[in-house]
Amino acid sequence: MDLRALLRPTDAADDPAPWVDEAATPRPALDGDTTCDVLVVGAGLTGLWAAYYLLEADPSLDVLLVERGTTGQDERGIGACSARVGLDADGIAQRYGDAAARDARAVLRDAVVEVGGVAAVEEVECGFRFGGELVVAGDDEALARLARQATAATRWGDETHVLDAAALADHVRVEGAVGGTWSPEAARLDPGALARGLRDALLARGARVVDATAVARVSAGAAVTTHGTVRAARIVDTRPSGAHRGAATLATAPLPEATWAAVGLARGEVLAHCDGLRVVREPAGRLVAGRAPAAGRGTRAVGAAARSADALHAALAALLPVLADAPVTHAWLRPLAAPGALPSVGLQDEHAWARSGGTGPAAANVAGRTLAELVTGTQSALTRAPWVRRG
């Protein structure tokens, strides 16, 4: 299958994901100079979470979010909300020590639950379902490796269950699978719907959200935008750094129930394979799949991206043959953290910043909550996490 026509020769940030088709009507742009207590630059999930927790801490704050595009339209993940980041617990321990690794893993696991909890409380219809994550092994050697990893993960407080072929088939029917593992710390959701729901919750609390307003320069106490200057007591910058790999991703048309009955994933599980392939049954019935590029590589040029997407489709069809002829309606590049990357959150004087690092909705929640606590002076496990920097 040639997916070239679905990919455009642009930066990864402009490629379409399924939920972009359903994006809400853009908010008006900034209308001239203004002031606020806290300016949040960037209304992606990290910025939305930061504003949400700032208003949780102090509802009287005048919070303004400024987005260069349309809120919710820049969410291009596969819809997996998991405790994964670019660096595993062993790597965190090597850099920062065992205690930091245990604390970091606890924070990330809690974030998955937190995302679902807020979605429920705020009545955000994003299809959140706490199905856990499956990792599939295609041979006995891979299964033995997964079993060793499951045992080692208990050191960091992670819960992982080893499944034989029959137990795995109760979740998903994968061609040639000999077994796998299941861990509870993952959920599926529609990231665009989550972003739009958080935006609506913020508007209801009195926050201001403006779209189509690019920030050209940030300085002490002020930000110059394309539509005016904003003066703020605190500035929180959540714009993406651009330091990520472009990972090819695709989505099918909504699939019939007969196809899903043959595949499985009925409980909202996130499916992963040892070769880096990840698959989600999206709330609207699409199948969304992505695969990490080889270490140190990414796909930006349209030709390379199309070849990567074609290879992804072939791998998906080999894993789940019933999908070989499923129509693919979207192919795009999603930002993916480089191996070894962690979220980065910091505070210097009155300027805070965060980069969730292309690691998904849970990491964005962690980054946003941490920003809010740094700005309000709260001390917690979040502000002691190894990815926090102070100026």
The predicted-structure confidence for 149-208, as pLDDT tens digits, reads as follows 999 999 999 999 999 999 999 999 999 999 999 999 999 999 999 999 999 999 999 999
31 exposure class (CB count in 10 Å sphere: 0-12, 13-18, 19+): exposed
pLDDT digits (tens, 9 = 90+) for 44-74: 999 999 999 999 999 999 999 999 988 877 7
Measured distance CA(384)–CA(169) in Å, rounded: 41
22 pLDDT band, cuts 50/70/90, is low
The pLDDT of residue 13 is: 45
Measured distance CA(95)–CA(173) in Å, rounded: 39
For residue 361, what are the CA distances in angstroms to 84, 311, 356? Answer: 10, 26, 9
DSSP assignment of 109-137 equals HHHHHHHHHHHHHTT--S--B---EEEEE
Between 197-211, 339-353, 373-387, the lowest mean confidence (pLDDT) is in: 339-353
Pick the residue with more confidence: 22 or 121?
A: 121
**CA Rg value for the chain:** 21
Measured distance CA(134)–CA(154) in Å, rounded: 17
Mean pLDDT for the chain? 88
Answer whether residue 143 shows pLDDT above 70: yes
Answer whether residue 10 shows pLDDT above 70: no
Helix axes 191-204, 45-57, angle to 10 degrees: 30
Beta bridge partners of 133: 183, 270
Sequence-ordered list of residues with C-beta below 8 angstroms from that of 15, at least 6 positions apart, any chain? 7, 8, 76, 331, 332, 333
Q: What is the mean pLDDT of residues 322-340?
A: 84
Q: Using a cut of 0.75, tell me whether the model's pTM lies above it.
A: yes
| Cβ proximity of 341 and 87 under 8 Å | yes
Answer whether residue 8 shows pLDDT above 50: no
pLDDT digits (tens, 9 = 90+) for 282-318: 999 999 999 876 554 444 444 555 567 788 889 999 9
For residue 45, what are the CA distances in angstroms to 126, 218, 248, 314, 346? Answer: 13, 20, 21, 31, 17
DSSP assignment of 37-106 equals EEEEE--SHHHHHHHHHHHHH-TT--EEEE-SS-TTTT--S-SEEES--SS-HHHHHHHH-HHHHHHHHH
Q: Which two tokens stand for residue 12?
A: 């990864």
Measured distance CA(13)–CA(332) in Å, rounded: 9
